[in-house]
Amino acid sequence: MDGNLKETHRYDDIIDLPHHVSDWHPHMPISDRAAQFAPFAALSGFGSAIEETARVTEERIELDDDQKAELDLKLRMLRELLPQRPEVSIVYFVPDVRKAGGAYTTITGHVIKMDDFLSVIVMDNGTEIPIDNIFGIDGELFRAMEVSE
């Protein structure tokens, strides 16, 4: 090959031309240009549906008659001692808003109110516990009752 001949390549005829700028379409920002290469989620929402299905909830436990009687006695004692703002631990069921079941939660604090109209116990931190969802109540005042029996 002769040294005076220039080797030609496929795009040699256009490589030195100026970059075209459209008169009709505005220039795309770099952030939008990057988005066009983002992965496509053909099954959008599928991942969250799988996570929701995998999330575990507990079945609500039904109290037997003896447990209901004991809970009723503790609620009556709690009502009598309400002016003293007794400290108790309450285990209650919180129904899940998305699927069947729920979770048992324990809260410890001072009871400030028992609302018969709404059928809730109000704790000092503002938590309202539906009485029908209470699974158990414990506290010093109940332990003293068990010792005296």
Euclidean distance between CA atoms 111 and 131, whole angstroms: 13
Instruction: Write out pLDDT tens, residues 37-67.
Output: 777 666 777 778 788 777 788 899 999 999 9
Extract the runs of DSSP E, i.e. beta strands, from 12-146.
87-95, 102-115, 120-123, 128-130, 134-138
Q: pLDDT at residue 4 above 60?
A: no
Q: Give the tokens for residue 18.
A: 């100026």
Is pTM beyond 0.95 here? no
Between the two ends of the chain, the Cα-to-Cα distance in Å is 114
When pLDDT is cut at 50, 70 and 90, the band that residue 133 belongs to is: very high
Q: Is pLDDT of 8 > 80?
A: no
**pLDDT at position 36 over 90:** no
pLDDT score of 49 = 79
